[in-house]
Amino acid sequence: MDLILICRDALANSLVGNLVLAMEAKKAGTDVGVIITEEALAAMTGGTFCWPRELKEQVMRYKMADNAAAVGLTTQGGRGDGRQINLRQLITAAKEAGVPMFACPVWTALLGLKGNLPEGIKEVELPEALKMITEAKKVIGSF
């Protein structure tokens, strides 16, 4: 692969940055993949993505939701107080765009997820993950 993005934080902003960048890279013809690890893997498999302190206040989340379409993101909650960026739809959009997502084998084992990953997240063994990282032209951790 030309580019590997590593998403490790269960922070919504990390997920947004990594997946939007990966989809754009894919659209531009870059051979890109995303490795999901640590907190992000736990959040993607039934947990929750949280917003960091500077982005979690409701006023800021309204602003982000109101501007989401400008970067190709969908929202949920309509125009009312519940409006926010739809993170689950973003994950689905990345899958539909052909962005391969791989589960870190170490964290797959630690979280007891072996053989039980969500559709679209590929399970890889440690040698394969190491090969992807060492052979990629560029690796970016938690964009």
Looking at CATH, the fold of the domain delimited by 3-51+92-141 is given as Hypothetical Protein Ychn; Chain: A, (3.40.1260)
pLDDT band for 79, please (50, 70, 90 cuts). Answer: low
Write the pLDDT tens digit of every residue in 87-119.
889 999 999 999 999 999 999 999 999 999 988
Domain limits, the chain: 3-51+92-141
**Structure-block tokens of residue 119:** 């559709």
The confidence band for 40, taking pLDDT boundaries of 50, 70 and 90, is very high
Strands 138-141 and 3-7: parallel
Mean pLDDT throughout 48-73?
87
